[in-house]
């Protein structure tokens, strides 16, 4: 084992690797709670998604451990699952089976572009400021979802009636007196009055997580979710199942695994004139997954020595899979298609792996430990299903905060850089659509380059992607 993983050669030990594995697990275990809730809004069986999340995480992380031999965990990505549920299935109206088909195709494409080095070309084509804006924008998007799910916001109609203005709660009935007409209506958010138990529970969970993080307690997100779930029992929000260890709940995997091979899925995806939209969605999946992964590898690997400059140079200039980063990118790519087969959104390399690396994890054995711990959780599907939205929402908010760290790398005092970055973030959050944010950033970046007479600096891949986005918006305007 020591020889296979190179534990001693890396300056680590078996004990250190095990501790690192436990640390990484506890910092990312929240995905078991959050992913089924997010994907569940599409109509997917949440018990099945829970099982699929664990299986995909375990298999992907084992591939990372045994093939790449690096201490990174792979799991369904936050942001990617939100894009899957709220944009692809929500805004664009695709069935969840069709969305899974797109994820599967994305994984196959990622494998191909990783083997052919096209993935590296795509990475190099996107300016660093936009990469940072995309990462931070997804964080803001996730935090907004958490704030909504927590009940921290109320949405009201601002209804203009002749004469005068008044407001009514969202979903309320508009009753007009004779002779009065509705001139217009806007839905605007307001802060919750915290008069109901749901927002109070979410706020309690958020405070618990923040306090634990300030005290540097490992697994603060998981502890906060569990604590809020337990507190929610006497409040009537958390519903305790009759059987905490009900293995029959695992049968839900049958509803989501290999589901996209039916009539609704790959067969229907390109059958009704939505081919271009589907291609753009797959591109957005691949782009986001790529940035998440490479950012995690470079951000944590260089500092710890797992990926040094020589390894990055070998990846850029070498042929085949000579570098550890090449192998890690391949492992990450294969995990995405495997996850889609079992019934979950894109898997990606988790930034929470940094917690285990900080504890001294340096080899793939750390990943093996993480995978084993996830598999142990399989019989507890009913127990984990107890967590209400108000208990998982604080974790979404905190994850958004952590992802906002990338904003510091953007030169906000330089307009040619800040304008594309701002529109990436703003459109992503305000339009509630990740791909629209990416599109806005690309379009304004290209416009600014033309204005500065620097069009030749725009990479052909970036220029081509921008054209695809423009064509997509034109089609939406014409057909919509």
Please provide the average confidence, as pLDDT, over all residues in the chain: 82
Q: Is residue 216 in some structural domain? A: yes
Give 280-309 pLDDT, tens digit per residue. Answer: 888 878 877 776 676 667 656 655 667 766
pLDDT tens sequence across 342-395: 999 999 888 778 778 877 888 999 999 999 999 988 887 667 667 788 888 888
Asked if residues 340 and 100 have their Cβ atoms less than 8 Å apart, the reply is yes
Residues 299 and 353 in one domain: yes
Tell me how far apart the alpha carbons of residues 288 and 81 are, in angstroms, rounded to a whole number: 11
Token representation of residue 239: 């519903």
Domain count across the chain: 2
Q: Give the HSE-up count for residue 473: Cα atoms under 13 Å, Cβ half-sphere.
A: 12
Tell me: do 298 and 170 sit in the same domain: no
Question: Contact, 167 vs 158, CB < 8 A?
Answer: yes
Across 201-224, average pLDDT? 89
Alpha-carbon span 354 to 112, nearest angstrom: 27
Taken in order 274, 276, 278, 281, the sign of the CA dihedral is negative
Helix runs in 68-127, H state only:
80-82, 96-115, 118-125
Copy the structure tokens of residue 322. 């000579």
Same domain, 171 and 138: no
Residue that terminates a domain, selected from 351, 377, 399:
399
| List of E strands, 117-175 | 153-161, 165-169
Reply yes or no on whether the pLDDT at 180 is more than 50. Answer: no
Whether the Cβ atoms of residue 80 and residue 335 lie closer than 8 Å to each other? no
- 162 and 139 in one domain? no
Average pLDDT over residues 421-442: 86
3-class SS at 240?
Answer: coil
Q: What confidence tier does 450 reach under pLDDT thresholds 50, 70, 90?
A: very high
Whether the pLDDT of residue 278 is over 80: the answer is yes
Residues 256 and 143 grouped into a single domain: yes
CA distances from 480 to 53, 92, 320, 439, 472 (A): 35, 12, 46, 18, 11
Tokens of 228: 């809020």
Give 259's DSSP letter: G
pLDDT of residue 444: 96
Which percentage of the chain shows pLDDT scores above 70?
83
Same domain, yes or no: 171 and 75: no
Full domain range(s) for residue 184? 153-191
Cα–Cα nearest to 83, from 389, 341, 350, 429 = 429
Q: Please report, rounded to a whole number, the percentage of residues in the chain having pLDDT higher than 90.
A: 32
Q: Which of 26-35, 136-145, 203-212, 279-288 has the highest mean pLDDT?
A: 203-212
Angle CA 464–80–133, to nearest 5: 60
Query: What value does the mean pLDDT take over residues 159-165?
Result: 45
Specify the pLDDT at position 384.
64
pLDDT band per the 50, 70, 90 thresholds, residue 202: very high
- Is the pLDDT assigned to residue 413 strictly greater than 90? yes
Q: How confident is the model at residue 173 (pLDDT cuts 50, 70, 90)?
A: very low
Judgement on whether residues 182 and 240 belong to the same structural domain of the protein: no
> Do residues 160 and 258 both lie within one domain?
no
Residue 74 lies in a domain: yes
Residue bearing the bigger pLDDT, 203 or 138 = 203
Same domain flag for 42 and 178 = no
Where is the domain boundary, 399, 426, 443?
Answer: 399
| Residue 66: CB atoms within 10 Å | 16
User: What confidence score (pLDDT) does residue 164 get?
Assistant: 43
- Contact predicate 202/224, CB 8 Å: no
């Amino acid at each position: 084992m020591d020889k296979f993983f190179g534990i001693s050669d890396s300056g680590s030990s078996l004990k250190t690797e095990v501790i690192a594995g436990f640390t990484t697990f506890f910092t990312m275990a929240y995905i078991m709670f959050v992913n089924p809730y997010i994907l569940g809004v599409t109509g997917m069986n949440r018990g099945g998604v829970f099982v699929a999340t664990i299986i995909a995480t375990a298999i992907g992380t084992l591939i990372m451990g045994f093939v790449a031999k690096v201490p990174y965990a792979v799991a369904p990505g936050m942001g990617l699952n939100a894009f899957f549920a709220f944009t692809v299935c929500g805004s664009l109206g695709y069935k969840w089976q069709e969305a899974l088909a797109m994820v599967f195709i994305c994984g196959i494409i990622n494998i191909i572009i990783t083997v052919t080095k096209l993935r590296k070309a795509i990475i190099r084509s996107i300016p660093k400021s936009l990469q940072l804006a995309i990462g931070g924008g997804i964080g803001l998007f996730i935090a907004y979802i958490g704030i909504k799910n927590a009940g921290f916001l109320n949405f009201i109609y601002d209804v203009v009636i002749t004469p005068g203005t008044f407001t009514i709660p969202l979903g309320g009935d508009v009753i007009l007196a004779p002779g009065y007409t509705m001139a217009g209506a806007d839905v605007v958010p307001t802060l919750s009055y915290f008069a109901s138990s749901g927002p109070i529970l979410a706020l309690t969970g958020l405070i618990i997580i923040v306090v634990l993080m300030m005290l540097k307690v490992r697994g603060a997100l998981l502890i906060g979710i569990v604590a809020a779930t337990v507190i929610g029992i006497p409040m009537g929000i958390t519903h305790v199942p009759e059987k905490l260890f009900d293995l029959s709940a695992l049968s839900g995997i049958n509803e989501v695994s290999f589901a996209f091979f039916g009539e609704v899925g790959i067969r229907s995806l390109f059958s009704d004139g939505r081919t271009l939209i589907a291609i753009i969605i797959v591109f957005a999946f691949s782009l986001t997954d790529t940035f998440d992964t490479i950012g995690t590898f470079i951000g944590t690997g260089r500092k710890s020595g797992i990926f040094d400059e020589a390894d990055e140079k070998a990846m850029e200039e070498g042929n085949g899979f000579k570098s550890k980063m090449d192998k890690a990118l391949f492992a990450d790519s294969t995990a995405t298609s495997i996850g889609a087969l079992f019934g979950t959104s894109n898997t990606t390399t988790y930034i929470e792996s940094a917690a285990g690396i900080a504890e001294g994890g340096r080899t793939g054995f750390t990943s093996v430990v993480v995978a084993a711990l996830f598999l142990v959780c399989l019989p507890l599907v009913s127990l984990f299903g107890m967590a209400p939205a108000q208990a998982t929402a604080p974790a979404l908010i905190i994850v958004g905060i952590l992802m906002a760290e990338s904003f510091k790398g953007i030169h906000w005092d330089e307009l040619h850089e800040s304008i594309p970055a701002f529109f990436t973030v703003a459109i992503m959050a305000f339009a509630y659509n990740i791909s629209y944010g990416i599109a806005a950033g690309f379009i304004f970046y290209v416009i600014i380059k033309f204005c500065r007479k620097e069009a030749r600096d725009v990479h052909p891949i970036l220029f081509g992607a921008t054209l695809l986005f423009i064509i997509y918006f034109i089609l939406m305007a014409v057909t919509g």
